[in-house]
């Protein structure tokens, strides 16, 4: 690992002042479960780490007048232990529960999960997250793409967003609070994730000198939500496909729906057509199945990941049934 400076500011203003104006020279340290691995493998080699774990205002989980505030450095275990999430936030709780390692749950942070880098093996082996060869062509298209995107993969990015919590937060209509030199700003969770067009960009709506401070979620009264994941192994593995669903109910019928897919696109993917299909319907096996089919209607699998289309379809179907009937 390359030698680096280490700073531990006490306020978000101090933290932002320590961050650089370009990516690469400075990185933010929270739980470190992803960043330290990247540094050990020399995928990233920052000259300075800015530890934000000691900034008190970035922590905590609390009910608010409008819903819920989750601090950026709150851990996944804190999510599971918080009384504020016991009712109405099933999609988020189930997403956090899917992280099977107690060590990661106790160290990994909410903000860190949102901001982690792609799990693409080309990127993790130092080839960049766009995995371009010398001619500028992506290595992914004709290469090992078993775990890559089936949606939003028109190029140049083919990796999948690795965030476990992202789809659930998008389904719940969350807002991400960001702080930088110009002060605070708020970004809808679904717009926080972006598809980069060049290696000089990153996968999130963040400037190099900005940091995530909190996540805000409106009250969940009158909604039912759930997350369903498909994995090769339940222990210490990454999902192959995820679906998070939030349904606003009018009696037994769906008034409106929000559905987000995970691990199938460079960003958590809103399934808008599936949402439209559910509106005004009473949930049944067939309706849930039809919504699953609508969610993947635009999929364009690569040479080795066509299996993901069926997994994503089933994940949507089962998340809907889990939300409405308490089962999968």
Which tens digit of pLDDT belongs to each residue from 261-275? 999 999 999 999 999
- pLDDT value of position 232: 86
13 inside domain:
yes
Mean of pLDDT values over 247-276: 96
Q: What is the pLDDT of residues 28-76, one digit of tens each?
A: 999 999 999 999 999 999 999 999 999 999 999 999 989 999 999 999 9
Band the pLDDT of 235: cuts 50, 70, 90.
low
Average confidence score pLDDT of the chain: 94
Per-residue CA distances from 26 to 2, 15, 118 (Å): 13, 11, 18
Better pLDDT: 206 or 87: 206
List C-alpha distances in Å: 30 to 38, 72, 200, 325: 14, 9, 23, 37
Please check the confidence at residue 326 and state whether its pLDDT lies above 90: no
| CB within 8 Å of 64: residues ≥ 6 apart | 216
- In a domain? residue 139: no
**164 domain-assigned:** no
Residue 233 banded pLDDT, cuts 50, 70, 90? confident
Strand order in the sheet with 253-262: 223-230, 241-250, 253-262, 269-270
- Would the pLDDT of 163 be above 90? yes
Q: Which of 64, 161, 82, 59 is nearest to 120 (CA)?
A: 161
In a domain, 24, yes or no: yes
CA 7, CA 9: separation in Å to the nearest integer? Answer: 6
The predicted structure's pLDDT at residue 283:
96
Q: pLDDT value at position 100? A: 82
The percentage of residues in the chain with a pLDDT greater than 90, rounded to a whole number, is: 85
- pLDDT reported for residue 328: 41
What is the Cα–Cα distance from 5 to 47, expressed in whole angstroms? 6
The reported pTM is 0.96
Q: What is the CATH number for 37?
A: 3.30.43.10
Predicted confidence (pLDDT) at residue 126 exceeds the cutoff of 70? yes
- How confident is the model over 192-199, as a mean pLDDT? 94
* pLDDT at position 307 over 70: yes
Helix (H, G, I), strand (E, B) or coil at 83: helix
* 152: CB partners within 8 A, 6+ apart: 195, 265, 266, 267, 269
For residue 23, being part of any structural domain is answered with yes
Closest to 206 (Cα-Cα) out of 5, 6, 79, 27:
27
Structural domain boundaries enclosing 49: 5-54
Collect all residues with Cβ–Cβ distance below 8 Å to 327 and sequence separation of at least 6. Answer: 321
Asked if residue 141 has pLDDT above 60, the reply is yes
pLDDT band at 315 (very low <50, low <70, confident <90, very high): very high
DSSP secondary structure letter of residue 117: P
Number of domains the chain contains: 1
Asked whether residue 32 is assigned to any structural domain, the reply reads yes
The percent of residues in the chain predicted with pLDDT above 70, rounded, is 98
DSSP secondary structure string for all residues of 277-295: HHTTPBP-HHHHHHHHHHH
DSSP SS3 for 72:
coil
Confidence check: pLDDT of 189 > 80:
yes
- Res. 220: pLDDT tops 70: yes
**Each residue of 79-97: pLDDT tens digit?**
999 999 988 899 999 999 9
Say how far apart CA 135 and CA 173 lie, in whole Å: 41
239 in a structural domain: no
Any residues with CB less than 8 A from the CB of 100 and at least 6 apart, and which?
234, 235, 236
Q: Environment class of residue 127 by beta-carbon count within 10 Å: exposed (0-12), middle (13-18) or buried (19+)?
A: middle
Write the DSSP string, 224-270. Answer: EEEEEEE-S-SSS---SEEEEEEEEEETTEEEEEEEEEESSSSS-EE
């Amino acid at each position: 690992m390359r030698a680096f400076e280490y700073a531990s500011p006490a306020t978000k203003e101090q933290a932002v002042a320590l961050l650089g104006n370009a990516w690469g020279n400075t990185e933010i340290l929270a739980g470190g479960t992803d960043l330290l691995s990247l540094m050990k493998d020399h995928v990233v080699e920052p000259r300075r780490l800015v530890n934000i774990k000691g900034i008190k205002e970035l922590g905590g989980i609390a009910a608010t007048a409008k819903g819920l505030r989750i601090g950026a450095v709150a851990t996944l275990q804190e999510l599971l232990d918080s009384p504020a999430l016991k009712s109405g936030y099933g999609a988020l709780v189930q997403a956090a529960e899917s992280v099977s390692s107690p060590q990661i749950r106790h160290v990994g942070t909410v903000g860190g999960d949102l901001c982690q880098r792609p799990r693409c093996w080309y990127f993790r082996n130092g080839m960049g997250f766009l995995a371009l060869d010398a001619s500028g062509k992506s290595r992914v298209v004709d290469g090992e793409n078993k775990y890559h995107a089936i949606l939003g993969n028109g190029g140049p990015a083919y990796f999948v967003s690795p965030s476990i919590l992202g789809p659930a937060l998008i389904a719940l209509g969350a807002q991400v609070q960001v702080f930088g030199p110009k002060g605070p700003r708020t970004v809808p969770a679904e717009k926080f994730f972006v598809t980069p067009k060049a290696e000089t960009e990153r996968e999130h709506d963040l400037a190099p000198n900005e940091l995530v401070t909190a996540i805000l979620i409106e009250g969940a009264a009158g909604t039912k939500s759930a997350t369903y994941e498909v994995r090769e192994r339940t222990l210490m593995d990454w999902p192959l496909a995820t679906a998070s669903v939030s349904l606003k109910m009018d009696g037994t019928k769906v008034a409106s729906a929000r559905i987000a897919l995970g691990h199938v696109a460079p960003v958590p993917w809103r399934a808008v057509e599936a949402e439209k299909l559910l509106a005004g319907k009473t949930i049944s096996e067939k309706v849930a199945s039809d919504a699953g089919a609508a969610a993947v209607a635009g999929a364009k699998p690569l040479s080795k990941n066509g299996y993901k289309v069926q997994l994503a379809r089933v994940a949507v179907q089962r998340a809907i049934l889990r939300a409405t009937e308490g089962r999968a």
